[in-house]
Structure 1
Amino acid sequence: MEEFQRTVRLLYTGRSKQARRFRYGLIAFDAMSIVYFIATAALPVSPLTTGLNTVLGILILLDFSARLWISENRGRELRRIYTLADAIVVASLLLAPLFSENLAFLRILRGLRLIHSYHLLRDLRRESLFFRQHEDAVLAAVNLIVFIFVTTSLVFVLAFDAHDGLAGYIDALYFTVATLTTTGFGDITLASPGGKLLSVFIMVVGVALFVQLARAIFQPSKIKYKCPECGLNRHDPDAIHCKHCGESLKIETTGSDGA
């Protein structure tokens, strides 16, 4: 059993080509599951979707359990944002038949797993020059997109009937984006006290995430690398010395030609 645990740990944390392929395979699965959750958010519950949701819930639970099993600090692992998101997603998938409410909006949280994984971030920083130069913008964009679709699904569940289908979901997306950007056309509104509070939440949190994305896009590109001497963790892409203390830096790079 210890040998099997070591093998699993190497797949999740190792630097071999096999381990990287395994992790990228997981990310491909995450991406496909997110597309599925978004595509089915507006569809009525059927035996087929219930069965697919159960299978996805079991697969995500296996991944969730494996990461906890190999973790050296399970308490810290449980506090990670994508771990909490996975726990919520698994519960929404496996326990949905027990509830009359539509829990589809919770499943979009799976999007946080796409990028907020330490080992995925490490792989991308090492292998992608574009990601190293634009990491903050990529993370901010993922946060904003996840927020938009979670909120859209929540608005759809609260303000539209299940039989509204795709048209209703598009209206929910339209309302979310119009509220987030504070455009406020007023053609679609949530008139109840709860709806008004949700609108306020979308405006406050959405604008903050949008500003974070804009700042990440327009600020000078920096690479995350912690200086071993002073701890400064932002440096120019071609830096060989820390601007704060002068310590030599060994920022991983593929070279100027990307080879």
Structure 2
Amino acid sequence: MSDFKRSVRLLYTGQSPRARNFRYGLIAFDSLTIIYFIVTAAIPATSATIALNTLFGVLILLDLCARFWISDNPRRECLQIYTLADLVVVASLLLAPLFSVNLGFLRVLRGLRLIHAYHLLRDLRRESPFFRRHEDAILAAVNLFVFIFVTSSLVFVVGFDEQSGVAGYVDAIYFTVATLTTTGFGDITMTTAGGKLLSVFIMVVGVALFLQLARAVFQPSKVRYKCPRCGLNRHDPDAVHCKHCGKTLKIETEGISGA
């Protein structure tokens, strides 16, 4: 059993090509599930979708169990934001047949697993120059993407008849984006107290996430490199000395191409 546990741990945390391919495979699975959850959020449940939801729930639960099993600190692992999101997603998938309310909006939380896993971040920082240059913008875009579709699914459940189908879900996305950008066309509105409070939440949180993305896109890019003396971990790509303490830095670069 110890050998098997070691093999599983190496798959999740190792540096071999096999381990990296395994983690990229997990991300492909995560991407597939989030697309599926978005597409089926407005589709009435059928025996086929219930069976597929159960299958996805079991697979995600197995992944969670494996992560807890190999973790040196299961409590810390449990408190990670993407772990909590996965627990909610698993519950919404496996317990959905017991509830009459549509829990589809919770499943979009699966998107938090995208990019945010520590070892995937490390792989991307090492292997992808594009990701290193635009890490903040990519993470901000993922956070905004998840927020838009989670809240759109929630708006669909709260403000639209389930029978409205895809057209109603498109209206929910339209309302969410119009609200978080504070455009406020007014052609689709929430009339209940709960709906109005949800609109306030979308405006406050959505604007913050949108501004975070805009700042990451337009502000000068920084690279992650921890100063060995003071611990400052963001520096200009061409920095030679730490701006905080003056320590000489040795930031890896790809050099300058061209004459």
TM-score, with length taken from structure 2: 0.96
C-alpha deviation, 1:224, in angstroms? 1.3
C-alpha deviation, 1:134, in angstroms? 1.2
Structure 1 residues 255, 22: closer, same or farther in 2, change over 3 A? farther
Alignment of 1:37-52 (within 5 A): 37-52=37-52
One-letter amino acid of the counterpart of residue 202, structure 2: I
Q: Distance in 1 between matches of 2:241 and 2:5?
A: 40
SS at match of 2:116: coil
SS at match of 1:43: coil
After superposition, the CA RMSD in angstroms is 1.3
- Structure 1 runs (4+) deviating above 6 angstroms are none
C-alpha deviation, 1:228, in angstroms? 1.8
Contact 1:155 1:172 in 2 (8 A): yes
User: How many residue pairs align between the two structures?
Assistant: 257
Contact 1:85 1:110 in 2 (8 A): yes
Sequence identity, in percent?
74
Q: Distance in 2 between matches of 1:248 and 1:27?
A: 37
One-letter amino acid of the counterpart of residue 225, structure 1: Y
Q: Distance in 2 between matches of 1:22 and 1:254?
A: 27
Aligned to 1:3: 3
Q: Distance in 2 between matches of 1:93 and 1:9?
A: 27
Alignment of 1:1-259 (within 5 A): 1-253=1-253
User: Please, which runs of 5 or more residues in structure 2 have no aligned partner?
Assistant: none
Q: Distance in 1 between matches of 2:144 and 2:49?
A: 27
Contact 1:129 1:253 in 2 (8 A): no
Q: Distance in 2 between matches of 1:109 and 1:144?
A: 12
Q: Distance in 2 between matches of 1:253 and 1:52?
A: 46
Q: Distance in 1 between matches of 2:53 and 2:205?
A: 29
TM-score, with length taken from structure 1: 0.96
Q: Distance in 1 between matches of 2:8 and 2:253?
A: 28
Q: Distance in 1 between matches of 2:163 and 2:221?
A: 47
